[in-house]
C-alpha cells in the first residue's frame, strides 16, 4: 500500500513499494543537493565541455549540447525550488529528473563536494522541532494545572 506522498504526481507512474527510496526520501536528497549546489558546496563537472561525455555511450558531447543540458538542468533546479510557482506536477517531475542526474553524475565521477550534511541538518531540525512542540504542549498542560490549582486553593493561599 503506497501513501499519498509516495505516489507519482501526474506522470502516470507510481513508486514501487520495493523501491529503496520513497518519494519523500528522493525529495529530501534533491533538497540537500540543491542547497549545497546553490551555496557552492557541491559542483558538477558534467557541464565542462572538455570533460563532458555521455555516460551511457561514452561519446564526447558537443559544446552546444552541453550548454543545452546545463540550461535544462538549471531550469529543473528553478522549478524544483518553486521559482515562478510551477504546478506541483512540474515540481515533482523536476525533482525526479535532478535525482536521476545526481545518480548519473555521482556514478560517473562528475560531482565534487558533499551535500549530505544538509540532509543531516534537516533531520536534526525536524527532530528539534518535534521536541519543541512536545515541550510547548507540556508547558500548556502545566499552565492549565497551575490555573486549576489556583482556583481550588484560592488566590491568597500559599
- The answer to whether 31 and 115 are in contact (CB under 8 A) is no
Supply the pLDDT for residue 1. Answer: 36
Residue 3 has pLDDT above 90, yes or no: no
Q: Model confidence over 18-48: pLDDT tens digits?
A: 778 888 888 988 998 998 999 889 999 888 8
Q: Are residues 86 and 52 located together in one domain of the fold?
A: yes
| pLDDT range class, residue 2, cuts 50, 70, 90 | very low
Domain count, the chain: 2
Q: Residue 121: inside a domain, yes or no?
A: yes
The partner residues of 42 in beta bridges, in order of sequence, read 113
Q: What phi and psi, each to the nearest 5 degrees, are found at residue 33?
A: -60, -50
- One domain, residues 121 and 157: yes
Range of the domain at 129: 116-158
Do 103 and 42 fall into the same domain?
yes
How does pLDDT run across 88-136, given as a tens digit for each residue? 999 999 999 999 999 988 888 888 888 776 565 666 666 677 788 888 8
- Extract the C-alpha cell encoding 130: 518535534
In a domain, 7, yes or no: no
Same domain, 101 and 131: no
Amino acid at each position: 500500500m503506497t501513501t499519498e506522498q509516495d505516489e507519482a504526481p501526474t506522470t502516470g507512474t507510481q513508486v514501487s513499494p520495493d523501491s529503496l527510496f520513497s518519494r519523500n526520501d528522493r525529495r529530501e536528497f534533491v533538497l540537500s543537493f540543491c542547497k549545497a549546489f546553490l551555496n557552492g558546496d557541491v559542483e558538477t563537472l558534467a557541464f565542462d565541455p572538455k570533460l563532458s561525455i555521455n555516460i551511457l555511450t561514452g561519446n564526447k558531447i558537443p559544446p552546444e549540447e552541453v550548454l543545452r543540458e546545463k540550461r535544462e538542468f538549471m531550469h529543473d533546479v528553478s522549478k524544483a525550488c518553486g521559482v515562478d510557482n510551477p504546478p506541483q506536477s512540474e515540481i515533482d517531475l523536476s525533482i525526479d529528473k535532478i535525482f536521476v542526474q545526481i545518480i548519473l553524475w555521482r556514478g560517473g565521477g562528475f560531482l565534487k563536494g558533499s551535500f549530505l550534511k544538509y540532509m543531516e541538518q534537516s533531520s536534526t531540525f525536524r527532530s528539534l522541532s518535534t521536541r519543541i512542540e512536545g515541550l510547548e504542549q507540556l508547558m500548556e498542560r502545566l499552565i492549565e494545572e497551575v490555573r486549576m490549582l489556583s482556583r481550588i486553593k484560592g488566590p491568597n493561599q500559599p
